[in-house]
Structure 1
Amino acid sequence: MTFRAHILGAAAGGGLPQWNCGCENCNLARRGDIPAQTQSSVAFTATGHDWAILNASPDIRDQLARTPALHPTGLRDLPLKSVLLTNGDIDHVAGLLTLREQQPFKLFATAEIHHVLADNPIFAALNPAFVARKTIALDTPVEIAVGLTATLFAVPGKVPLFLEGATVQTDLMGEQTVGVHLRAAGKDAYYIPGCATCPADLAARLDGAAAVFFDGTLWQDDEMVAAGLSQKTGKRMGHMSMSGPDGSMAALAGLDLGRRIYVHINNTNPVLRPNSDQRRTAQDAGWTIGHDGMEIEL
């Protein structure tokens, strides 16, 4: 068995370049000076021919087209066996509408995330005769592709932007934002594209993993505010930063991890520039900056 991960999209919502953004990174990407990145999604396999996709990005059509391992093997035969959602954010569920073409697969999520889909009638385009919606309870292993199990667990986060009310709690613990523990061939990997804080019990859970794919949205909390692009901090959006004493590099520094890979990277993040001081700092701390098309054998 071969436990592999393939990053379909490494960017946060909006991708790189973001269509309406004229920040330094977006302009560099438009000129081809730094690689463009599509929105957040990673595919995993334990066999090389049965795959599960974690989060259905709005860019999933192009992501699948660029990934030969996920191309059809017959008229309607596909290596894609399932899609698993880690929250109900638009950048993680909108791609389901692209997967409406009468193709059988299983759709895994918590009950709360399934409710988000059920409350929006447009997702009825996923014909239940082909797409079986499977509810996963927290902390319960489920096989999502041959030889590949997933266990969902709560991480601090918030409800999707389109469900926010007047008051927003960004460190909710429950079924609305989850991390994924993937296990195959006796090895463990974790996928956590959204995380507001990293409490000690979460860090302890990750210790010893072959790989951790972690929320890399912002380098610093006020990054978008300082750039004049938003009034929201990373904390307000439900994402912890990479840097600083409360950042993910510090929180996970003492762990025994085979690979540390940042995903869900916002278009403003300076680590997207290969020669930036911030990227060198992250790499010196043992982190890899994920990018579209990156494949890792675990």
Structure 2
Amino acid sequence: MLMASGARSSTPQLLLLLYAGCVLLSMSRNAPQHLVAAANSPFSFSFDFSTISISRLQDLRLEGDAALHGKLVDLTYNSITQRIANNNCMGRMAYAHPVPFYDSITGEVSSFTTRFKFAIGLNVGGSNKEGGMAFFLSSYPSRLPPSSSGGNLGLPVDDGRSQVHGTDQFIAVEFDVFSNTWDPSGTQDHIGVDINSVRQSVNTTSLPTFSLNGSMTASITYDNSTKMLVASLQFDDHPSVGPIEVSTILPDPVTSLLPPEVAVGFSAATGTSFQLHQILSWSFNSTLSTHAGSDAQDTQIKRRRMTTGSVFTSKSGRKRPYACDPTNVLTYEYYFHLQQ
């Protein structure tokens, strides 16, 4: 009898718990679905220019002398005739949409990894070379600075005594084939980390002359827990030159360097010498969800309804392509992962 009485007295509590569970389940189903997906989905994209489709070009912003040619992107002129006619040249390729760098509400900064295959082609048989290229993060949208040819690498120009400020601020890893007057003494080819100044690199690794020539693979990572930025470079066409690294700890607070949403991409420039700067493939992965920076990214995604990728229907939970119902955007959880 005592057991039966205990069971009867617990029945209302069980019913209350069951009711509360149903309410919570209903609330989760009715929540804004794109926010649910964003919270669980880190930001990423990738491009393989040997197989890129025309529809993917809307995800790229090309500036200056940059252009898509066949299975690669030339950041500077790929014709010596064009270079002679225009003397110095400079160009940029950036991701066309804002990339979350930190959450303006929580202050959480993204950890990210980018990997890209690229090539620098120097004038065959020539001894002259000048300029180079860089991977950069800057204010969104990307804007190619005027008069940024030669050793400025298509990045904002400073006077060598003070750094750039405001919307000109940037973080970059440079791949420089020339020793300018502001570079460390004795360097020729080198890679370096630049923060708001090309002429005051915070760290530089010197390389044998003419080693930045041919096909290479680079990986750049940033760890938000250690604030360490590390760039590694592998020489695909020069196996005798071992992989090298350059690293630095970014200033604290990192949020003072750039806005919550940034542009990411590549810049390059030449001087009076002709050389190629080509991007063959590129991937970018971030730990910060797209909604963390602001709602602007969600707006961009909703407008680009025909972009390749996948969504989840809130009713079935099954993956379907964006194009299955591009008009009913409110019934989808967005999983923003661009695919080739």
Whether the TM-score (by the shorter chain) exceeds 0.5 is no
TM-score, reference length from structure 2: 0.25
Q: Which has the higher contact order (CA 8 A, sep 6+)?
A: 2
TM-score, reference length from structure 1: 0.27
Q: Which has the larger radius of gyration?
A: 2
Structure holding more strand per residue: 2
